[in-house]
């Protein structure tokens, strides 16, 4: 695997080089000192993965990611030694197509360097596995008996690459008095999940917060999966976390959550599968379709990565495809009709 490094900070650059050189069958493809140089280098020599610093002179990692995904798309992993004040930029970069983000030590060493190195190596391994799964693509009810809070409909959403921007657009198009509860699973490093919840909360009139064990979906509220384990809906209709299955590289997994909902939610609902690399969520969407849910998937034209939806369509889990801008109006119409129609959607990467 050929990995490019983009950073103007010598300690960060050295840390990233050590990480890549310590992996068997991996090599540093090239190094760029700013985003503008990375855009040109990527056009001439597109690597298998780019480790992209966030804050750099000339052109930052957000704009560099946007241009790379437009001109010579390849997987981008944001690496940043500075979290405070920069979480919005992280989610902007993910909205343009960065797969995920990971924290690296500012000095390249210190007490946490070993742990940060392990996390980075795991992220690289996860992306390599996802690349192996991905098909060639383009960048571009009734009241549940256990509830007494008036919730009649559950909406679930799953997303990965490009997801934060898509989720923000959808949530901003839903009214604060939405007659449903929402639970979201977005592939994002556990250290960024709480900040993602805060960021999304600022994009909508709905209340967005991280899901905690024991929470129940509530009308007009949005729960976001966070942490390093999988989010699930339990038999008691509460949210919880589980480390199983351990062999799934991305956490939380959309498939794990969707399947738990299909198994335990006692009525129909609305499911949305959004832009993302790989196949996660396709089997779960099919399980929800079979349970009578109205399933939706983002179309290729508005997906940053058309992989997860494409896999769902291949399974027959998605019978309707929507542009991201059509998802919120469709949800509103479905809720206004008082029921989730039994249809389905599709996607790709």
Taking the C-alpha atoms of residue 331 and residue 272, their distance in angstroms, rounded to an integer, is 10
Which residue from 159, 220, 244, 154 is spatially nearest to 193, judged by alpha carbons?
159
Query: What H or E segment, with its residue span, contains residue 116?
Result: helix 113-133
Among candidate residues 26, 53, 103, 160, the one labeled active-site is: 160
Total Cβ atoms within 10 A of residue 332: 15
- Residue whose structure tokens are 């699930």: 232
- Residue whose structure tokens are 């509460």: 238
Catalytic residue list contains 160: yes
Taking the C-alpha atoms of residue 16 and residue 2, their distance in angstroms, rounded to an integer, is 13
Among candidate residues 187, 230, 253, 267, the one labeled active-site is: 187
Among candidate residues 159, 280, 303, 334, the one labeled active-site is: 280
How many helices and strands (H and E) does the chain possess?
11, 14
| C-alpha torsion sign, points 115, 1, 6, 72 | negative
39, 68 in Cβ contact below 8 A?
Answer: yes
Catalytic residue list contains 280: yes
Would you please indicate which residues are annotated as catalytic (active-site) residues? 160, 187, 280
């Amino acid at each position: 695997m050929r990995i490019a490094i983009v950073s103007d900070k010598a300690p960060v650059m050295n840390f990233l080089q050590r990480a890549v050189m310590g992996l068997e069958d991996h090599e540093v493809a090239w190094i760029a000192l700013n985003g503008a140089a990375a855009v040109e280098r990527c056009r001439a020599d597109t690597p298998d993965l780019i480790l992209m610093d966030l804050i750099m002179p000339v052109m930052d990692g957000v704009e560099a990611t946007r241009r790379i995904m437009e001109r010579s798309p390849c997987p981008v992993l944001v690496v940043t030694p500075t979290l405070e004040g920069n979480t919005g930029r992280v989610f902007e970069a993910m909205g343009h197509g960065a797969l995920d983000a990971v924290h690296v030590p500012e000095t390249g060493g210190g007490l946490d360097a070993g742990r940060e190195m392990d996390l980075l190596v795991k992220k690289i391994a996860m992306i390599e596995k996802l690349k192996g799964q991905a098909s060639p693509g383009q960048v571009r009810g009734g009241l549940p008996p256990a509830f007494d809070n008036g919730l009649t409909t559950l909406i679930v959403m799953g997303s990965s690459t490009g997801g934060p921007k898509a989720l923000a657009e959808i949530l901003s198009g839903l009214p604060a008095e939405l007659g449903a509860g929402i639970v979201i699973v977005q592939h994002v490093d556990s250290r960024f999940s709480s900040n993602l919840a805060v960021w999304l909360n600022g994009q909508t009139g709905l209340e967005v917060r991280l899901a905690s064990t024991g929470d129940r979906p509530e009308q007009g509220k949005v729960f976001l999966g966070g942490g390093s384990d999988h989010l699930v809906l339990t038999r008691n209709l509460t949210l919880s976390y589980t480390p199983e299955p351990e062999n799934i590289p991305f956490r939380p997994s959309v498939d794990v959550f969707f399947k738990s909902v299909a198994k335990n939610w006692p009525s129909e609902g609305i499911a949305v599968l959004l832009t993302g690399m790989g196949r996660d969520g396709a089997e779960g969407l099919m399980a929800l379709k079979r349970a009578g849910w109205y399933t939706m998937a983002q179309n290729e034209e508005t997906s940053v990565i058309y992989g997860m939806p494409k896999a769902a369509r291949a399974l027959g889990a998605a019978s309707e495809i929507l542009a991201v801008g059509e998802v919120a109006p469709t949800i509103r119409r479905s809720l206004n009709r008082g029921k989730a129609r039994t249809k389905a959607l599709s996607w790709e990467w």
